[in-house]
Amino acid sequence: MNKALYIVLGVILIAGAVFAVLRFGIGGDEDTWICDNGQWVKHGNPSAAQPTTPCDNQTNTNQPIGAVPALSASTWANRDQYVGKTVQITGKAKAGPAMCTLIACPVDQPCCNSCGADLFVQIDASEEMAVQITGQQPTQMYADRQVGCTGNDCTLTCDPLVEDKTYTVTGTLRAQSDGNTFYTLELASLEEVISQQANQNQFNWSTMNQGPYKDQITYATSTDLLNWTPSGDILASHASVPGAVVKDSTIFVYYVDVSTNGIKEQLGMKKSFDNGRTWSEATILTITGLGDKTTADPAPVLLADGRIRLFYYDINEVRISRPASGVEPPNKIYSAISSDGVNFTQEDGVRFERQGIFDPDVEKVGDTWYLYGGDIEGNKVIVATSADGLTFTEVGTAFQSGAVPDVWHENGRWYLYTAGIDIAISADGLTFTSAGKRFEDRDRGGVTADPSVVKLSDGTYMMLYKVKSSP
């Protein structure tokens, strides 16, 4: 057999491998029956006859906004009533049977075949209660990632769910048939469920001697940004690190909420329509596309188009990615965006990352964005700048004697508030010096920290901050 023929056969085998991966590993179920608007619709060229079982996936337009039913072991028997609706499923990610090319692998390359498999979530670890995950994440963060598993004879890698990890996935449930009815979920969002078995006390907030469970959020008012009067009102308990913004004369206050044992940090929100005289009930935010991130240290910014961009520090990344060396990875600041201040969508990419950075605060002055972060170990404030509010570059140290920053800019003057609460001033926002002013809520005693300043509609100012609850 001549060299040219070997080349031709090699090309054919490679093309076959690529086709198999695209067709079976990534392409999904091409030849099947899909339940669409109450009717079985042929997709591709299915070998099975049209199913005789009822097809009912009419979307329930009366489903309450924000009410996402859970498809679980207890509701599995009634799964058909959820078809066509948005549901949440919690279970372990599993790869389905692999389909591979059939190349005769040489001895020194035993894993030469390309393989693909569908990705499932098993409810209650049961193969009978398994839902295939399909579709792509609607957010930019997963725009280039196909749902499924690919690899070779020896190993498969699944994306965006990792096999054998437990997730809560949200999406639209569909019924399909290849002779037998099976169920798929068009993926909209996912969140990894952190195991509590390794550390039963990890999120038992009320039993901790230290931590945010003993924090409360209150506020003070001022007419000059230097002298502050505490209100004496508690806005939220078991809450910490407030970040505030005013939109259409409404105050939005975001904070870290740890009011529920067994649940990791969440973002709470309260708002006031009357300059803080009365407040709404607390709302726990949901960020579409958040994934396994855990939001902490919220820093909201009102954009020119009326949307709110919420910067935050992902506290979960250090928990799940701490290397064996024990050296902490860089802390990362992310952002999510909202048109109403309540429903947020994760934005793609990392805004800023640095070793030991916490408590971001972001300001936009003119055409420049300024991100301030606290280096608690170094007791200093770091400043980074950006032209678009999405990619920040570190400039240097803005203040050397304090951390946990909040910055306010008005009439060419910059005010920096750090934990304590100490006040510093600047003419350029890059270098601050002490103003010789300090605010402490002496009525509360102890800690006065994590400030966030906004301007009210009557021209006065409000500072949100945390204190420790009374013993």
Q: How far apart are CA 12 and CA 140, in angstroms?
A: 35
Residues 6+ apart with CB under 8 A from 117: 25, 95, 96, 97, 98, 99, 148, 149, 150, 156, 158
Is the preceding peptide bond at 421 cis, omega within 30 degrees of 0? yes
CA 219-221-226 angle, to 5 degrees, is 115
- Return the closest-CA partner of residue 393 out of 415, 368, 428: 368
Where b means 16+ CB within 10 Å and e means fewer, 423-438 reads bbbbeebebbebeebe
Please name each of the domains of the chain with its CATH number.
20-103+110-192 (no CATH), 205-468 (2.115.10.20)
How confident is the prediction along the chain (471 residues), in pLDDT tens digits per residue?
454 444 444 544 444 444 344 333 434 444 566 655 556 666 666 666 666 555 544 333 333 334 578 888 878 888 999 999 999 998 888 899 989 999 988 877 888 999 999 999 988 766 788 999 987 544 433 444 578 898 888 888 888 888 878 888 888 999 988 888 899 999 888 877 654 444 445 788 888 877 899 999 999 999 999 999 999 999 999 999 999 999 999 999 999 999 988 888 999 999 999 999 999 999 999 899 888 889 999 999 999 999 999 999 999 877 766 554 456 778 999 999 999 999 999 999 999 999 999 999 999 999 999 999 999 889 999 999 999 999 999 999 999 999 999 999 999 999 999 998 999 999 999 999 999 999 999 887 778 999 999 999 999 999 999 998 865
Supply the pTM of this predicted model: 0.61
Rg (CA), the chain: 27
What is the full DSSP assignment across 218-257? EEEEESSSSS-EEEEEEEEESEEEEEEEEETTEEEEEEEE
Rounded to an integer, what is the distance from CA 469 to the centroid of its chain?
Answer: 29
The pLDDT score that the predictor gives to residue 145 is 55
The total number of residues written for the chain in this structure: 471
DSSP state of 200: T
CA atoms within 13 A on the CB side of 38: 3
User: In angstroms, rounded to a whole number, what is the distance separating the alpha carbons of residues 414 and 289?
Assistant: 35
Q: 277, 286, 237: which is closest to 257 by C-alpha?
A: 237
